[in-house]
Amino acid sequence: MSSPAPAVLRCERVRRTFWLAEARHRVIALVDINLQIARGSLTALVGPDGAGKTTLLRLAAGLLQPDAGSIEVLGIDVVREPQSVQDRISYMPQRFGLYEDLSVQENLDLYADLHGIAREVRVPRYARLLEMTDLNKFTTRLAGQLSGGMKQKLGLACTLVRSPELLLLDEPTVGVDPLSRRELWQIIAQLVEEEHLSVIVSTAYLDEAERCAEVVLLRAGRILANGPPVSLRAQAAGRCYRVTPPPGVPARQLQTRLLDAHDLVLDAVPQSGEVWFMTRAEGAVAAAESGREHGRSKEADESNAASGAGAANAAGGTSNRLPLGGLTVHERAPRLEDAFMLLIDRDEGVSQASHLPALSRDRGNPPQAAALRGSREPHSHELSHGPSGDLNTARADPMNARSEEAPVIEVHDLVRRFGDFVAVANTTFSVRRGEVFGLLGPNGAGKTTTFRMLCGLLPATSGSLRVAGVDLRHARAEARARIGYVAQKFALYGNLSVRENLRFFAGAYGLSGEQSRERIDTVVEQFGLAAVVSGPSGLLAGGYRQRLAMAAALLHEPQILFLDEPTSGADPLARREFWRRITALAQAGTTVVITTHFMEEAEYCDRILIQDAGEVLALGTPQEVRSLGGQGDMDGAFIHIVEQARGGRAA
């Protein structure tokens, strides 16, 4: 590679491994990395967990030494002269070291002192940084009292107290709500544009990577692809489609069905009320359509005869057609996420879907689909033929079928105050059985407080709260026996083995003896934990940890599962796997209440609640909420709704 443009980062055959003392083996973080990043550009590092993104950033910052290969940053050999590189770059790690007991201004001063910034330079620099981060009004506030988004902005400001030539950011937007996320990206874009700063940022959000000039896709320590987003997207061209589910059918059900046809469908996600999917072969939809015309009636008979077989089996087996049941399919432009999924799938050589323990199949038929098989609705004639005829049985989804049942969660006029501060104000909503209910809101909106009250972790100041048919004020232990809770960060006992953790939680939920063993074996199999069951849970990788946390929360087969930002910081693959489990759980009748910062994940929910400053801003199906927010996707709707409400309050 001989590029005339000066590179801010040049890696040649870089290799780095780590010795894991506890696990007693060496893991490869990066292998033969050859990379050249041009000056003045914004570059994104994307890839699944454990791809080596952080290692690459730390190598570039001179904080780690490579085992082999050479790294030049700004033309300087960083291995030989880490200090001279560090004098000219800034690095913001995933957890930036803010001093929580110091104020915003004191944090800035501290970092300015550490970097030896001259006093006279500070004044204009501070002014600019505070204006850019919109922290002007908060200079005297303690950093520990800032919201998650503000903390990240302050972290960025502290990183930028001096003007670096290269800025390295490690997942700066993890745990940050869409509003703050947008602000952070505006700041970054401004820096690139006005100060001609070179920025390398690692991220789990592909919509963020889409804004970058260059994208580097890493996986398992190697570079899978490297180029501008447009050229990466082009790789997925001709495979991307969208389809609208029949009325009343949650998009996630159609999505599950598509994913189950994993010979044909590489990826599917609910999006704006539709399901966006990607086929394995280019132009597969046209082929499938023609195939359907061919042997339609015969297939339909078989499908009806085998009443026990779920749609997934019928569609995912040998059939070479998409399980769409005559729904109209439109082609759509590929997104970076499609390219990401495609490239990773190619790299794997095996289908991603075949990796996932197919929950819906393990558990047999989704009960409501089986139970309602007889009750086809006559007016859905456009769907009542073809191999996926049972899609229309699924349309009688849990919400409709159970609408006359008492809600599993009833919240009425819920209030929570901390001193004078009203964290949650007069909140009223209910959740039906089998519903997937999303709690959304900016950082500090009160959703965590609401969530903690629902789980019985925090008493309400006033209002009524019934969970699983039990008043939380009076019979908390009884209510707790019926819920499962997955905390935001890994909250199991790290020094105990996976099995010990499960044994403990089984016992805590009153399971003993044979029953306990049986349930533990079931969840171990269900969540694919068999390989790690005797190892210490503290050493598990991120994905396994979450699976274990979910397994522990589901041991007692709770009626309601609470999940607090379960996908924060997770890569797209892990998020898909997670949501497949949630979909299967909901189909089996478990109610799921979930908080998330990923607006696209709101699409998986039956209904969502948007909160800000303790108030309910919107409550309804994703469709309804999107229409409240005008046109566009959920991200846009969310920002619109929150800003409108804030504008209203300010006026």
Partner 1 sequence: MNPREFPLPDEPRGRSSALIDHLEGARLFFVRLAALIRKEALAILADRSSRTILFLPVLMQSLLFGYAATYDLSHVPYAVMDQSHSALSVRLLAHLDGTGFFRRVTDVEAESDIAPVIDSQRALMVITVPRRFEQGLAAGESVPLQVILDARNSTTASTALAHLAAVVGDFNQELARSQGARQPALSLETRAWFNPNRETRWNFMPALIASLSMLQTLLLTALSVAREREQGTFDQLLVTPLSPVQIMLGKSLPPVMIGLIQSTLVFLITVYWFQIPFAGTLPVLYAGLTAFVLAGVGIGLVVSALAATMQQAMLYTFVLLMPMMLLSGLSTPISSMPEILQTATLINPLRYGIDVARRVYLEGAGFGDIAGDLLPLLVIALLTLPMAAWLFRHRLA
Q: Kindly state the tokens that stand for 446.
A: 């009160």
Rule CB under 8 A: is residue 496 a binding residue for partner 1? yes
Interaction with partner 1 in 376-435: which residues (CB under 8 A)? 418
Strand order in the sheet with 68-73: 25-38, 7-20, 68-73, 76-77
Please tell me whether residue 167 adopts helix, strand or coil conformation: strand
Q: Computed over its alpha carbons, how large is the radius of gyration of the chain?
A: 26
Q: Which is nearer to partner 1, 257 or 556 (CB)?
A: 556
Piece of 150-158, 230-238, 293-301, 456-464 that binds partner 1 (CB under 8 A)? 456-464
Rule CB under 8 A: is residue 482 a binding residue for partner 1? yes
Q: Which is nearer to partner 1, 111 or 485 (CB)?
A: 485
Identified binder of partner 1 from the candidate list 138, 205, 509, 598, rule CB under 8 A: 509
Q: Kindly state the tokens that stand for 548.
A: 């274990």
Q: Which is nearer to partner 1, 227 or 535 (CB)?
A: 535
Q: What is the DSSP letter of 107?
A: H
Identified binder of partner 1 from the candidate list 515, 534, 627, 631, rule CB under 8 A: 515
Distance from C-alpha of 389 to C-alpha of 382, rounded to nearest angstrom:
10
Distance from C-alpha of 396 to C-alpha of 407, rounded to nearest angstrom:
18
Rule CB under 8 A: is residue 97 a binding residue for partner 1? no
In angstroms, what is the minimal distance from the CB of 398 to partner 1? 10
CB 288, CB 264: distance < 8 Å? yes
Q: Which is nearer to partner 1, 500 or 615 (CB)?
A: 500
Identified binder of partner 1 from the candidate list 21, 123, 350, 477, rule CB under 8 A: 477
Which residues, other chains included, contact 294 with Cβ-Cβ below 8 Å and sequence gap of 6+?
none
Rule CB under 8 A: is residue 478 a binding residue for partner 1? yes
Question: Residues 549-588: x/- map of binding to partner 1 (CB under 8 A)?
Answer: ---x---xx-x--x-------------------------x
Q: Which is nearer to partner 1, 99 or 493 (CB)?
A: 493
User: What one-character-per-residue DSSP string does 422-488 give?
Assistant: EEEEEEEEEE-TT-EEEEE-STTSSHHHHHHHHTTSS--SEEEEEETTEETTT-HHHHHTTEEEE-S
In one letter, which amino acid is 648? G
Q: What angle do CA 215, 218, 223 make, to 5 degrees?
A: 90
Piece of 226-234, 328-336, 500-508, 625-633 that binds partner 1 (CB under 8 A)? 500-508
Identified binder of partner 1 from the candidate list 63, 142, 458, 619, rule CB under 8 A: 458
CB 561, CB 484: distance < 8 Å? yes
Distance from C-alpha of 43 to C-alpha of 56, rounded to nearest angstrom:
13
Q: What is the DSSP letter of 142?
A: B
Rule CB under 8 A: is residue 494 a binding residue for partner 1? yes
Q: Which is nearer to partner 1, 286 or 491 (CB)?
A: 491
- On the CB side of 554, how many CA atoms lie within 13 Å of its CA? 25
Rule CB under 8 A: is residue 500 a binding residue for partner 1? yes
Rule CB under 8 A: is residue 236 a binding residue for partner 1? no
Q: Which is nearer to partner 1, 295 or 510 (CB)?
A: 510
Interaction with partner 1 in 426-455: which residues (CB under 8 A)? 455
Distance from C-alpha of 83 to C-alpha of 63, rounded to nearest angstrom:
10
Q: Which is nearer to partner 1, 323 or 558 (CB)?
A: 558
Identified binder of partner 1 from the candidate list 5, 121, 406, 508, rule CB under 8 A: 508
Residues 128-163 as b or e (16 or more Cβ within 10 Å = b): ebbebbebeebeeebbeebebbbbbbbbbbbbbbbe
In one letter, which amino acid is 505? F
Distance from C-alpha of 524 to C-alpha of 518, rounded to nearest angstrom:
10
Cβ neighbourhood burial of 61 (10 Å; 0-12, 13-18, 19+)? buried
In angstroms, what is the minimal distance from the CB of 50 to partner 1? 22
Can you say how many angstroms the Cα of residue 514 is from the centroid of all Cα atoms in its chain?
36
Rule CB under 8 A: is residue 511 a binding residue for partner 1? yes
Rule CB under 8 A: is residue 535 a binding residue for partner 1? no
Distance from C-alpha of 120 to C-alpha of 101, rounded to nearest angstrom:
26
Distance from C-alpha of 44 to C-alpha of 167, rounded to nearest angstrom:
12
In angstroms, what is the minimal distance from the CB of 120 to partner 1? 39
In angstroms, what is the minimal distance from the CB of 464 to partner 1? 19
Q: Which is nearer to partner 1, 505 or 544 (CB)?
A: 505
Piece of 223-231, 253-261, 376-384, 476-484 that binds partner 1 (CB under 8 A)? 476-484
Identified binder of partner 1 from the candidate list 5, 20, 281, 371, rule CB under 8 A: 371
Rule CB under 8 A: is residue 539 a binding residue for partner 1? no
Rule CB under 8 A: is residue 361 a binding residue for partner 1? no
Interaction with partner 1 in 579-638: which residues (CB under 8 A)? 588-589
Interaction with partner 1 in 33-92: which residues (CB under 8 A)? none
Q: What angle do CA 408, 410, 411 make, to 5 degrees?
A: 150
Rule CB under 8 A: is residue 489 a binding residue for partner 1? yes
Rule CB under 8 A: is residue 481 a binding residue for partner 1? yes
In angstroms, what is the minimal distance from the CB of 246 to partner 1? 23
In one letter, which amino acid is 516? S
CB 59, CB 89: distance < 8 Å? no
In angstroms, what is the minimal distance from the CB of 52 to partner 1? 27
Identified binder of partner 1 from the candidate list 24, 420, 495, 514, rule CB under 8 A: 495
Compute how many residues bind partner 1; rule: CB under 8 A. Answer: 43
Q: Which is nearer to partner 1, 16 or 416 (CB)?
A: 416
Rule CB under 8 A: is residue 99 a binding residue for partner 1? no
- Residue 122 — φ and ψ, nearest 5°? -65, -45
Determine how many CB atoms are found less than 10 A away from the CB of residue 26. 11
Rule CB under 8 A: is residue 505 a binding residue for partner 1? yes
Identified binder of partner 1 from the candidate list 504, 542, 619, 640, rule CB under 8 A: 504
In angstroms, what is the minimal distance from the CB of 536 to partner 1? 8
Rule CB under 8 A: is residue 485 a binding residue for partner 1? yes
Residues at the interface with partner 1 (CB under 8 A): 367, 371, 418, 455-458, 477-478, 480-483, 485, 487-496, 500, 503-512, 515, 552, 556-557, 559, 562, 588-589
